[in-house]
Amino acid sequence: MSTPNSDFRRRVPPRSGRLLLIAGAAVLALAAAAYVAALIHYPRIQTLKGFDLFVYRSGGLLVRYDPSHLYSWQLAAGIRFTYTPFAALIFAALSFISFPALMDAATLLSIAALLLTIWVGFRELGWRGRERTGVAMLVAGVVFWSEPVQRTLFLGQIDLLLMALVVWDLSPPGGRRLKGAATGVAAAVKLTPLIFVLYLLLTRRVREAAVAAVTLAATVVIGFAALPAESAKWWLHGYFLQASRTGFVGDRANQSIRGLLTRLAGSVGAGTPLWIAAAVVVGIAGLAVAAQLHRRGRPFAGLVVCALTGLLISPISWDHHWVWIAPGLAVLLDAAVRGRTRAGRVAWSGAAAAVVVAFVAWPGPNHHLVDLLHGGLFWYAPGTLFGSGDNPAFAEYHWHGRQLLAGNLYVLVGMALFGVVVVACVRSLRSRSAAVGGGLMPAAGGR
């Protein structure tokens, strides 16, 4: 059985390392220079508005001065504090920092988190030396100008930080005594990382899953100790289950299966049963494939498939949640390099190219160049501004033609990739002669 690194050495000629290093450095430098130029040229409100960070900081200020209104306060219709009491305590500590300084720090830390995620990802995929440095810079330069990453920076969101925390914590399997604790902290801030605890259990990393669960439980206790009334609302009164607290579930920016089905069904109520059924099927299949990848010597690919599964089945997956395309692109490129047939390498390369085209920042429908900072193809479908509840007049219920494709682009691409990985996994299981070193899945090489 070949190891990831030995297989990598067979597929990547040693001389390509220098060229890859030069190309990666050039792409990353160009991306950084363009971003700095945009920050200098455009007003701050168009580049680093920090809308979501302002909500976070406001939640922290409420904890300090008026905690009873933490979950009833609204900045605008449908714009509330929707994080855990423990997260509110963190934001309370950060609220002592001025908003401009906090926004600058969030931007720098998020960029560092993106670079860390990609660097760790290629390490786990078996890349070494100049090849690893070159391809990491290349991918970083490309995904830096993707809509989810730019939107995260523009809003002051924390998705890049949480992604890096999970990737660092769970890569490689085994090792640190408190492995799993950082994942528990990530889930204590934003509940979506909870799916990784199930992934740990399915891959028989019971100790790591237990550490994550205990860490999460400890944060709940801390929340009850500091904010008993608000913690009761969040955990005991079911606020954490109310997806509608974040606004209109069918909002254009909700790129999950539930968002898609809500828009197609024409109402939140009609879409909910369909989403529950789809979420169960996709969740079971996705976690099974992720666990299979782990068992067959591709743990990082398994981790990324788990993340993709979470994005698809979550009730809310805002566009900026899709920053997981960064490690996802690394996995696709690695599969293209390792493919044992030309057809397989072309197929995985095509998948990587499709991800870039779908998620890269594009000028918005008004064709303003500044929209490149946080615009994407899915914005070409009309949307409802700050919608809450449900209303048949919402724009998302009246899409037609290309609007349906554009407005559901992320979830459609995600489902297509999900289907490809599931099929590859099934083919692999059916092929007794498949070896582990053949791409994302052994039989994915187009045999």
pLDDT at residue 440, rounded to an integer: 63
Residue 440 lies in a domain: no
Backbone φ, ψ for residue 2 (5° rounding): -80, 145
pLDDT in tens, 211-222: 999 999 999 999
pLDDT at residue 1, rounded to an integer: 36
CA-CA distance, 311 to 168, in Å (whole number)?
19
Residue 442 lies in a domain: no
Ordered DSSP codes for 126-177 = T--HHHHHHHHHHHHHHHHTBHHHHHHHHHT-SHHHHHHHHHHHHSSSS-ST
Closest CA to 192 of 227, 233, 163, 230: 163
pLDDT at residue 370, rounded to an integer: 65
Identify the band that residue 223 occupies on the pLDDT scale cut at 50, 70 and 90: very high
Number of domains comprising the chain: 1
Tokens 């501004």 correspond to what residue? 385
pLDDT in tens, 18-75: 899 999 999 999 999 999 999 998 898 889 999 999 999 999 999 999 999 999 998 8
Range of the domain at 266: 4-430
Type of residue numbered 196: F
Mean pLDDT, to the nearest integer, of 222-232?
A: 97
The residue among 440 and 176 whose pLDDT is bigger is 176
The gap between the terminal CA atoms of the chain, to the nearest Å, is: 19
Q: Are 157 and 151 in contact (CB under 8 A)?
A: yes
C-alpha separations of 427 from 125, 342, 419 in Å:
22, 18, 12
Lowest mean pLDDT among 151-155, 372-376, 432-436: 432-436
> 10 Å Cβ neighbour count for 129?
10
pLDDT at residue 438, rounded to an integer: 46
Residue 392 lies in a domain: yes
- Is the pLDDT reported for residue 248 higher than 50? yes
Q: Are 304 and 133 in contact (CB under 8 A)?
A: no
Residue 278 lies in a domain: yes
The pTM of this model reads: 0.92
Residue 447 lies in a domain: no
pLDDT at residue 6, rounded to an integer: 47
Residue 148 lies in a domain: yes
Peptide bond into 148 cis (omega under 30): no
pLDDT in tens, 98-119: 999 999 999 999 999 999 999 9
Residue 438 lies in a domain: no
Residue 443 lies in a domain: no
